[in-house]
Structure 1
């Protein structure tokens, strides 16, 4: 079996599996906020995990706040910035290629809180144009509450110029949040060097337990509680900590740091795979091909062939992929992200997303190339649209 949907959700890493087998046989279970010795041992363990993760993402431990994942983290950040924004700052700058959680949240702030949304321009590869962001910041001086533009796209894998955007926002005195869900644990990232004000992570994207995650905040006092509780996470995220999830997060982050050098070899194999497919089928399109992308992500389409049909053919070979994004996999239409990039329905409705991790390489790509060639050969004889 080849599972190729790591951008959707990563299987538990082998080190995480091995850890849990041992961990579940211990008696170390308690509320880490109590004062008895078992709780205090758990509490110290959480802080050790915070230190490990901080080292991996390039920040200070007290800049990390554990939660359930990126959706909660994004809501927490938006609440902290937008619900506390000055009355004269009612503009939010974003992009047309965000993961659905961002436009859904922003729609609420637009409809219920009176904010106005403005979008930066992107090129044909879905790459944000810095000049467009600069223009919007200049045109709306003193009126921008925040800029929220992702670091790496979940569908195309295109890595955005988040460092340059952060520098520009800092020059204009505007808070900048970049959705790093697809970048942390999949590509090079250092919070301090990035210049970001906020970042997020979901544990299930990098082989930790689902329901675990964290936000990183440059200036923690700016964070306002979204989930109310007691003293957990220094009073900024209520609820008993998901300490098993936090422990697996630390293991996953450490494993990525130890193996990050494998990303270069993964990208080499990905590019060989893409070249092989395009040589056999020149009509095939690699979306975002002209931009820097995540090492293991390919979004590919064949004109006139439904992505779901290709998905089914690949599954018959025990290869599991998605169409565009896992959260919209049951919608056989061109995604909003691809429409914003100018991708027509002939390609957009036919794309499949292949996403692998640093543990993969030539073996997996070779098997997928054979299966995809067979699928395209079969399906182009019965093109469905």
Structure 2
């Protein structure tokens, strides 16, 4: 039986358009830094992809620097902020991705954490106080969408507060781009992180968007690639795939928004059968594809194993910890008690998701829940099945 893949926030399947672009690029002979015809052909692939990625992020083509992914983009941003922009301290939200937190801590600057509210949204009052609390030049790091809860952050408001005192802002848009409209100018960010495999590009390619005119210092030196902002021969095939995926994601934003119906279907059915279930960030604006849920007494590791055996792939949050399940740091920042947090799992849908995936997940989750509550799994399964509605495939879902 086909497995139900519901971990798209970790990585989403390679889009057919990206696969085709990668294969075409592999047949192109030439180094994009060479001036002969073969080199110019490779350069054209890179620059066409740069334009497509820029369009997805609402940025200018010259502002896009290709990297190996979001993690490198974060490290590059903090390095440049310290070396070229004179940043003396970092202000980071409590719910940033581990890659951002680790990069901030490794930048050799003081790091201060901004708290969030019960829905996981940044406390703008606390940010304002932190910004005003020092005359040192600051960089604020704030993600656009949380990778675990899907909650959208007030990036434009934070950028305005930062700019009022001469600070700058780095926005991690890895989880948001391709799922909601992103406009670099409207966000007001000075730098923006992107990751290819979250939108259906191959693994190992991403970008840092840097506002025109912002002082910049490369981390990797040795060559003139990426307009002297990142040395090393470009990953032409990966970049070509990134560009194709960006083009497809931009064209499919309206269709992706319809995933809200499937996400809400998950939450409504579980809430009906498990009244003590909790859906984190439900009262805030979220990505259309993400649900982070738990119930008292559940254990995430046991639950993930049971779901995997049932052919359902989900996660316990971020997927960048080598398969480890630890304490959910994001939920701790939100003030969630351990008895609830310990059973939290993230369900994330994507461009290839189908209604059948949702039904399979709900039935499997409820079987575990029923065993915990001493109910018969057969009864739960029968009740869930009886509550189904015939639902067309994603492409035909009504908003």
Same fold (TM > 0.5): yes
* Structure 1 residue 18 displacement after superposition: 3.6
Mapping for residues 105-144 of structure 1, pairs under 5 Å: 105-109=103-107, 113=108, 115-140=109-134, 142-144=135-137
Mapped pair 1:183 → 2:176: yes
Q: C-alpha distance in 1, partners of 2:317/2:224?
A: 40
Query: What TM-score comes out, normalization by structure 2 length?
Result: 0.89
Mapping for residues 69-218 of structure 1, pairs under 5 Å: 69-86=69-86, 90-109=88-107, 113=108, 115-140=109-134, 142-218=135-211
- 3-state SS in 2 of match to 1:261: helix
Q: C-alpha distance in 1, partners of 2:22/2:47?
A: 19
Q: C-alpha distance in 1, partners of 2:207/2:111?
A: 26
Check 1:299–1:194 CA distance in 2 against 1; reply closer, same or farther (3 A cut). Answer: same
| 1:246-275 deviations in Å (ceiling 9; x for gaps) | 111111111111110013321122112101
Mapping for residues 1-385 of structure 1, pairs under 5 Å: 1-21=3-23, 23-24=25-26, 26=27, 28-86=28-86, 90-109=88-107, 113=108, 115-140=109-134, 142-219=135-212, 221-328=214-321, 330-381=323-374
Q: C-alpha distance in 2, partners of 1:23/1:41?
A: 9
Check 1:224–1:313 CA distance in 2 against 1; reply closer, same or farther (3 A cut). Answer: same
| 1:212-240 deviations in Å (ceiling 9; x for gaps) | 11110113551211011211111110000
* Structure 1 residue 329 displacement after superposition: 6.8
Q: Does the 8 Å contact 1:323/1:329 carry over to 2? A: no
* Structure 1 residue 279 displacement after superposition: 1.2
Q: C-alpha distance in 2, partners of 1:229/1:221?
A: 22
* Structure 1 residue 19 displacement after superposition: 3.7
Q: Does the 8 Å contact 1:76/1:226 carry over to 2? A: yes
Q: Does the 8 Å contact 1:305/1:380 carry over to 2? A: no
| 1:24-59 deviations in Å (ceiling 9; x for gaps) | 4x3x13211112211111112211111122222211
* Structure 1 residue 319 displacement after superposition: 1.0
Check 1:33–1:329 CA distance in 2 against 1; reply closer, same or farther (3 A cut). Answer: closer
Q: Once structures 1 and 2 are overlaid, which stretch shifts more, 238-247 or 323-332?
A: 323-332
Check 1:23–1:44 CA distance in 2 against 1; reply closer, same or farther (3 A cut). Answer: closer
- 3-state SS in 1 of match to 2:172: coil
- 3-state SS in 1 of match to 2:362: helix
| 1:108-148 deviations in Å (ceiling 9; x for gaps) | 33xxx3x33222221111110212211222222x3232111
* Structure 1 residue 361 displacement after superposition: 4.5
Q: Which runs of 5+ in 1 are unaligned?
A: none
Q: C-alpha distance in 2, partners of 1:380/1:197?
A: 50
Q: Does the 8 Å contact 1:310/1:376 carry over to 2? A: no
* Structure 1 residue 381 displacement after superposition: 4.2
Q: C-alpha distance in 1, partners of 2:176/2:216?
A: 22
Aligned length: 373
Q: Does the 8 Å contact 1:306/1:332 carry over to 2? A: no
Q: C-alpha distance in 1, partners of 2:312/2:322?
A: 16
Q: C-alpha distance in 2, partners of 1:282/1:120?
A: 33
Q: C-alpha distance in 2, partners of 1:6/1:380?
A: 30
Query: What TM-score comes out, normalization by structure 1 length?
Result: 0.92
- 3-state SS in 2 of match to 1:176: strand
Q: Does the 8 Å contact 2:58/2:184 carry over to 1? A: yes
- 3-state SS in 2 of match to 1:199: strand
